[in-house]
């Protein structure tokens, strides 16, 4: 009598894919802190992140951040904006890069900074950088919500050198992006723990980045009504045209490091 063959469940298949992706991420790539002394490498990191956000073809995939695409921010403008951030924060030692072991090429980065507060009314950007005013508006909204959440939770304002803000996370590959991003985020978290930081937070502007934060055990803080803190695109006069399948809102995520 022939025994019936047991099928492989979807959960088993996903588990196998996760294991394989995690192995590849550890085997073929190295993860390190971006050094402040290497300006050529800093430029390469800015180029890598700019490509992943403004649009780059990688194999059969086209990688782009939907909000950046809608705001029509060019690669060159994005690169300069990111480069300026890296120049201002690289000495903090909180930007993590991923490089191919065989070539040394930068294929991903997590840019982060030590956070205390955010400027409420920064000067408006002009020219090619004007679209960033919308991104800054969303960032200020969510960061102020985060500050209020921490105050309600701890009974005090944010303390210097206790909070990390993730500015950008990007991986310029067709496959295994989430596993490489996870390795970079894990390294950043370990560094922050060792330096006494207590919280790390991030804004996630699309479904893909929101899933990544959930996967990495980040939590969505709730407002006074018990609703996850987010900036709705449907209520924004510009971003309401973003298709729902690409993103409905920019969500706030955080994790306790202690």
Q: What is the pLDDT of residues 224-242, one digit of tens each?
A: 899 999 999 999 999 999 9
> Quick one: tokens of 12?
């088993």
Q: Is the pTM of this model over 0.85?
A: yes
Q: What is the pLDDT of residues 94-118, one digit of tens each?
A: 999 999 999 999 999 999 999 988 7
- Asked if residue 210 belongs to a domain, the reply is yes
What is the number of other CB atoms lying within 10 angstroms of the CB of residue 140?
Answer: 16
* Adjacent-strand bridge partners of 30: 99
CATH for 64? 3.40.630.30
- Asked if residue 1 belongs to a domain, the reply is no
- Asked if residue 151 belongs to a domain, the reply is yes
Q: What is the pLDDT of residues 155-190, one digit of tens each?
A: 988 988 899 999 999 999 888 889 999 999 999 999
- Asked if residue 230 belongs to a domain, the reply is yes
- Asked if residue 20 belongs to a domain, the reply is no
- Asked if residue 15 belongs to a domain, the reply is no
Mean pLDDT of the chain: 90
The pLDDT score that the predictor gives to residue 19 is: 81
- Cβ neighbourhood burial of 122 (10 Å; 0-12, 13-18, 19+): exposed
In contact, 251 and 229? CB cutoff 8 Å: yes
The pLDDT score that the predictor gives to residue 105 is: 97
- Asked if residue 70 belongs to a domain, the reply is yes
Comparing CA positions, the residue from 165, 204, 229 lying closest to residue 65 is 204
59 against 74, higher pLDDT? 74
> Quick one: tokens of 113?
């900074």
From residue 55, how far is each of 31, 72, 129, 173, 235 by CA, in Å?
A: 24, 11, 17, 12, 26
- Asked if residue 19 belongs to a domain, the reply is no
Q: How far apart are CA 191 and CA 32, in angstroms?
A: 11
In the chain, the number of structural domains is: 1
- Note down the domain range covering 154: 28-256
46 against 27, higher pLDDT? 46
């Amino acid at each position: 009598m022939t025994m019936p063959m047991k099928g492989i469940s979807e959960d088993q298949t996903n588990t196998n894919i996760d294991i394989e992706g995690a192995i590849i991420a550890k085997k073929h790539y190295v993860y390190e802190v971006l050094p402040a002394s290497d300006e050529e490498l800093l430029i390469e990191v800015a180029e890598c992140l700019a490509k992943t956000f403004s649009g780059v073809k990688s194999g059969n995939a086209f990688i782009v951040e939907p909000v950046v695409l809608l705001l029509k921010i060019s690669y060159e403008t994005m690169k300069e904006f990111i480069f300026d951030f890296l120049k201002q924060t690289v000495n903090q030692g909180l930007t993590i890069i991923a490089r191919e072991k065989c070539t040394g090429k930068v294929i991903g980065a997590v840019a982060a900074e030590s956070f205390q507060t955010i400027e409420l009314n920064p000067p408006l950007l002009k020219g090619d950088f004007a679209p960033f005013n919308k991104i800054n508006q969303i960032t200020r909204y969510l960061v102020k919500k985060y500050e209020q959440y921490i105050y309600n939770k701890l009974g005090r304002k944010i303390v210097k050198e206790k909070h990390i803000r993730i500015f950008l996370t990007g991986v310029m590959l067709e496959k295994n992006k989430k596993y490489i991003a996870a390795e970079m985020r894990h390294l950043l978290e370990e560094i922050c723990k060792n330096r006494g930081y207590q919280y790390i937070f991030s804004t996630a502007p699309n479904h893909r980045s929101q899933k990544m934060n959930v996967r990495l055990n980040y939590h969505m803080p709730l407002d006074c009504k018990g609703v996850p803190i987010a900036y709705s695109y449907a209520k924004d006069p510009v971003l309401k045209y973003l298709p729902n399948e690409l993103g409905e809102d920019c969500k706030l995520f955080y994790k306790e490091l202690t």
